[in-house]
Amino acid sequence: MNNIKKSNPTLNHIIKNSPGLMPSLKEGEVVEARLLKRTPKAAYFDLGKFGMGVVYRQEIFNAKEIFKTIKENDPVSAKVVSIENEDGYVELSLAEAGRQKVWQKLKELEEKQDELKVKISAANSGGLIAEVEGIKAFLPVSQLSTEHYPRVDEGSKEKILEELKKFIGQDLSVKIIDLNPRNNKLIISEKEINSQNLKDLLTKYKVGDVIDGIVSGVADFGAFIRFADNPQIEGLIHISELSHKLIENPKEIVKVDDTVKAKIVEIKDGRVNLSLKALQPNPWDKVKEKYKADQEIEGTITKFNPFGAFVALDAEIQGIIHISEFGGSLEEMKKKIEVGKSYTFKIDSVKPEEKRIILKLKK
């Protein structure tokens, strides 16, 4: 072993400094190496035309699974850490070479958009965790299929986590959508599996079409609608598209298994957005016939916000009284008016194009 260590630096030096004898070798490159000898402190490899390489104790530990299986003269992939270290050897890493090959394979899978099967090993409120080729992968909630998307009230992180934990131990079909070896980032998507199929199914529909649907889920941000004539397609009605009036919770308008008619307002990237209010008369179109500036009217406080309070004037129209009417103080405003109580207001201005009626409290 000592003969190897003493003679090799001279050989490496001669090869590396003789034009035409030494092919180009770069740090980070993966080369084939054959094990010559292993000691407790180092393992030596024949790199053929590149001379001799070495793997030191820490790297032996990092690649302990590889060293369990290789014998002298066995070939193995190694990553060049240093072209010539202080001992004159090409310093190598077997673990890094294996890792680099894995990331290269993952990159190829991403580019080919190959479908993968992964087993979910953990969950957090942001999504699910699995492994692909031994690398930890993250499946964000937003990349779950509509079938598996957690539909919980009020967007509670605790409830979302409860739903996501149900997937631990299950196999899901996914695609790789993003990766970065430098920071060990690997993002996978279940939604992408069905996107092309959905795009094909959606070609028979266009913006403006009215569809019959069944409410398949309700979340704090809107309602999911499954097409009655094509149950594979599921669209979303955002909370802002459920009604012309301001609502706090989509359940005020729809519940699961309701049948509805909805208008397609957007088809994009295999997703379809729908609207209920697009099929309803807009009460703001005729608001000036009912409400005018300087008019006195009764209204009920429905909600406070940082800028004032909303006031229900009828079943569909709400006005707003600004916090400036109370000296800019939310606390002062809450002393004068209460949610659920009715008061007499004076209309300051009516702006149908902004869906806004500005009120003042009658003194």
Q: What's this model's pTM, rounded to 2 decimal places?
A: 0.54
- Distance CA(359)–CA(362), nearest Å, equals 9
Please give the helix or strand (H or E) that residue 309 lies within, else none. strand 308-312
Closest CA to 98 of 133, 140, 147, 148: 133
pLDDT for the residue numbered 55: 87
Name every residue whose Cβ is closer than 8 Å to that of residue 335 and which is 6 or more positions away in sequence.
none
For the CA atoms of 138, 141, 147, 148, what is the dihedral angle to 10 degrees? 70
pLDDT for the residue numbered 125: 84
Two structure tokens written together for 319: 């006005």
pLDDT for the residue numbered 10: 47
Q: Is 115 helix (H, G, I), strand (E, B) or coil?
A: coil
- Distance CA(307)–CA(360), nearest Å, equals 14
Beta carbons within 10 angstroms of residue 129's beta carbon: 18
Report mean pLDDT in 10-residue bins for the chain, 363 residues: 47 47 70 86 88 86 79 85 83 78 82 88 92 88 83 72 92 90 86 76 92 90 91 90 87 92 90 93 90 93 90 90 90 91 94 91 83
pLDDT for the residue numbered 155: 59
Find the radius of gyration of the CA atoms of the chain. Answer: 33
Q: Is 84 exposed, middle or buried (0-12, 13-18, 19+ CB in 10 A)?
A: middle
pLDDT for the residue numbered 15: 45
pLDDT for the residue numbered 4: 52
Per DSSP, the chain holds a count of helices (H) and strands (E) of 8, 21
What does each C-alpha distance from 42 to 30, 74, 91, 180, 243 come to in angstroms? 19, 16, 11, 31, 72
Cα atoms in the Cβ-side hemisphere of radius 13 Å centred on 309: 31
Domains of the chain, CATH where assigned: 2-98 (2.40.50.140), 113-195 (2.40.50.140), 205-279 (2.40.50.140), 284-361 (2.40.50.140)
- Distance CA(250)–CA(242), nearest Å, equals 7
Query: What is the DSSP track for 178-204?
Result: EEEGGGTEEEEESHHHHHHHHHHHGGG
Name every residue whose Cβ is closer than 8 Å to that of residue 266 and which is 6 or more positions away in sequence.
207, 272, 273
Two structure tokens written together for 350: 């009516």
